[in-house]
């Protein structure tokens, strides 16, 4: 029975394709015979030493008669594909819900330690920032000079502007605010096409007073850019929710990729640090996967430890996953590929604190190692489920 209990099971269900990939790993004792039975709601593995049954979540149903592509991969286990049925809400979860936040006061927390950054802020307007090239579109379509030229977009007191990976918030003198490491320097506009992107001339990092984590950057004397991976925004009547750091980073990055790919039809991303260096290249493959992983019993079915939607805490349920390929770019790795992607207009850049980029690399590397061997690489890229 011990050999069966340690058998690895990996199941990926593609919601749109209504298909599933099942990988049943070898038992610890490689010479042990195993009989595998598939029912619509469970997987059953029998050996001379006993029987183990893995129950699937109620949301997932398999079609046993559709099994095909059966093959044994040494060191990996048994692979097969079959039809599956799964009904899930496909609407992505927004990082910041304007309707719910604009009704009352919000409190900004440092996600790492729970320190209050801005307390009881009434947000009357929560608006998305325009895309990077909106200034060029104004020039193309308007017969008069650009009225927004050299006018950066900064929020007013009760505004919050949402960028690809950050929030822009106006500071008020009656609110405690994070302390920059160095006094803010004058800012200069990068180009006429990116009015809301300002380039700091000096170190303008904003840090948490308690844990010293970088939260964002000062954009002007009244405006701070907070990175989504460092800040949690909650209604003031709620307590600070304790979420493990790695889970929070995974969830934020996954949601950013899904929302950007849907809004801008872009599927390749360059994750850059606030120092301007590229840390990792991500290639989004699909966002409709449901992933279940088990080590042999229904009690061990847990959330796949990657960049998944962490809103579902029930370990017996399936969860949405985003599948990506990735390439690390630190220590001068993949310089030619980075240069090629930098010059490709279809590649979208996301800027995060450099320390968070390193955290993301550790998450990618650690969880890539948990995949079945044959799923870890594809065309020199490493495979990953968010």
Cβ burial 70-98 (10 Å sphere, 16+ → b, else e): eeeeeebbebbbbbbebeeeeebeeeeee
DSSP 143-164: SS--TTTT------TTEEEE-S
CB count in 10 Å sphere of residue 194: 18
Cα torsion 257, 259, 264, 269 to 10°: value is -10
**Cα distances (angstroms) measured from residue 59 to each of 20, 66, 67, 113, 290:** 14, 19, 20, 35, 10
Let me know the angle formed at the C-alpha of 382 by 377 and 386, rounded to the nearest 5 degrees.
115
Q: Determine the Cα–Cα distance for residues 5 and 144; give it in Å rounded to an integer.
A: 72
Q: Determine the Cα–Cα distance for residues 181 and 179; give it in Å rounded to an integer.
A: 6
The 8-class DSSP code of residue 274 comes to: T
Q: Determine the Cα–Cα distance for residues 219 and 177; give it in Å rounded to an integer.
A: 14
Per-residue model confidence (pLDDT) at position 45: 81
What pTM was computed for the model? 0.81
Q: Which helix (DSSP H) or strand (DSSP E) does residue 337 occupy? A: helix 335-342
Q: Determine the Cα–Cα distance for residues 281 and 357; give it in Å rounded to an integer.
A: 11
Q: Which helix (DSSP H) or strand (DSSP E) does residue 217 occupy? A: strand 214-218
Structure tokens at 111: 């996600």
Per-residue model confidence (pLDDT) at position 1: 36
Q: Determine the Cα–Cα distance for residues 353 and 365; give it in Å rounded to an integer.
A: 19
- Residue 187: CA count within 13 A, CB half-sphere: 25
Q: Along the 386 residues of the chain, how does pLDDT read in single tens digits?
A: 333 445 788 999 999 999 999 998 877 666 678 888 999 999 888 877 777 788 888 888 999 999 999 999 888 889 999 999 887 654 444 455 554 455 578 999 999 999 999 989 888 999 998 876 666 666 677 777 777 677 778 899 889 999 999 999 998 654 455 544 443 444 444 444 444 455 545 568 999 999 999 999 998 888 999 999 999 999 988 889 889 999 999 999 999 999 999 988 899 999 999 999 999 999 999 999 988 887 544 333 333 334 444 444 343 346 788 999 999 999 888 899 999 999 999 999 999 999 999 999 999 999 898 888 899 998 878 876 66
**Cα distances (angstroms) measured from residue 50 to each of 35, 55, 101, 170:** 11, 17, 54, 64
Q: Determine the Cα–Cα distance for residues 155 and 167; give it in Å rounded to an integer.
A: 10
Structure tokens at 226: 């907070």
Decide: helix, strand or coil at residue 46.
Answer: strand
Tell the burial category of 65 from Cβ atoms under 10 Å away from its Cβ (0-12, 13-18, 19+). Answer: exposed
Q: Determine the Cα–Cα distance for residues 76 and 72; give it in Å rounded to an integer.
A: 8
* Cross-strand partners of 290: 13, 320
**Cα distances (angstroms) measured from residue 151 to each of 18, 103, 138, 194, 349:** 49, 30, 14, 10, 23
């Amino acid at each position: 029975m011990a050999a069966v209990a340690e058998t690895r099971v990996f199941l990926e269900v593609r919601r749109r394709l209504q298909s599933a990939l099942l990988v049943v790993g070898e038992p610890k004792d490689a010479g042990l015979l195993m009989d595998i039975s598939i029912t619509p709601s469970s997987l059953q593995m029998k050996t001379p030493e006993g029987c183990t049954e893995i129950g699937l979540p109620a949301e997932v149903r398999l079609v046993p008669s559709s099994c095909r592509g059966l093959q044994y991969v040494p060191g990996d286990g048994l692979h097969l594909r079959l039809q599956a049925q799964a009904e899930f809400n496909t609407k992505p979860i927004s990082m910041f819900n304007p309707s719910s936040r604009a009704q009352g006061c919000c409190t900004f927390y440092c996600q790492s330690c729970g320190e209050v950054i801005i307390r009881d802020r009434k947000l009357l307007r929560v608006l998305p920032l325009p895309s990077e090239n909106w200034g060029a579109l104004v020039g193309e379509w308007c017969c008069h000079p650009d009225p927004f030229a050299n006018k950066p977009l900064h929020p007013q007191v009760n505004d919050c502007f949402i960028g690809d990976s950050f929030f822009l918030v106006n500071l008020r003198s009656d609110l405690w605010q994070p302390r920059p490491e160095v006094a803010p320097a004058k800012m200069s506009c990068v180009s006429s096409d990116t009015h809301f992107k300002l380039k700091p001339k000096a170190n303008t990092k904003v840090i948490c007073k308690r844990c010293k984590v970088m939260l964002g950057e000062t954009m002007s004397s009244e405006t701070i850019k907070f990175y989504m991976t460092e800040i949690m925004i909650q209604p003031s009547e709620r307590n600070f929710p304790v979420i493990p750091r790695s889970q929070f980073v995974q969830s934020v990055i996954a949601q950013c990729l899904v929302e950007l790919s849907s809004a801008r039809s872009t599927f390749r991303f360059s994750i850059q640090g606030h120092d301007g260096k590229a840390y990792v290249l991500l290639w989004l493959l699909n966002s409709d996967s449901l992933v279940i992983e088990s080590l042999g019993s229904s009690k061990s079915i847990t959330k796949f430890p990657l960049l998944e939607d962490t809103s579902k805490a029930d370990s017996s349920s399936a969860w949405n996953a985003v599948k990506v390929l990735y390439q690390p770019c630190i220590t001068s790795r993949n310089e030619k590929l980075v240069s090629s992607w930098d010059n490709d207009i279809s590649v979208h850049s996301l800027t995060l604190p450099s320390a968070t980029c390193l955290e993301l690399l550790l998450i990618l590397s650690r969880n890539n190692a948990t995949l079945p061997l044959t799923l870890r690489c594809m065309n020199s890229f490493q495979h990953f489920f968010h």
